[in-house]
Amino acid sequence: MEITLNRVVGAAGFDVQTYEDVEADRTATLPAIGVVLVSSIAGAIGAGAMDVRSMAGMLFVMVFSWVVWVLLTLFIGGTLLPERQTKVDFGQILRTTGFSSSIGILRVFGVVPIVGKTIFAIATIWMLLTFVIAIRQALDYSSTARALAVCALGWAIHVILFFGFVRVMA
Q: What is the pLDDT of residue 115?
A: 96
Mean pLDDT by 10 residues, the chain (170 residues): 91 97 97 96 92 90 88 94 94 97 96 95 95 96 95 84 70
CA pair distance 20, 43, nearest whole angstrom: 26
Q: What is the pLDDT of residue 1?
A: 74
Q: What is the pLDDT of residue 63?
A: 92
The alpha-helical segments, DSSP class H, found in the chain are: 2-12, 16-24, 29-46, 52-75, 90-100, 116-138, 144-169
Q: What is the pLDDT of residue 168?
A: 74
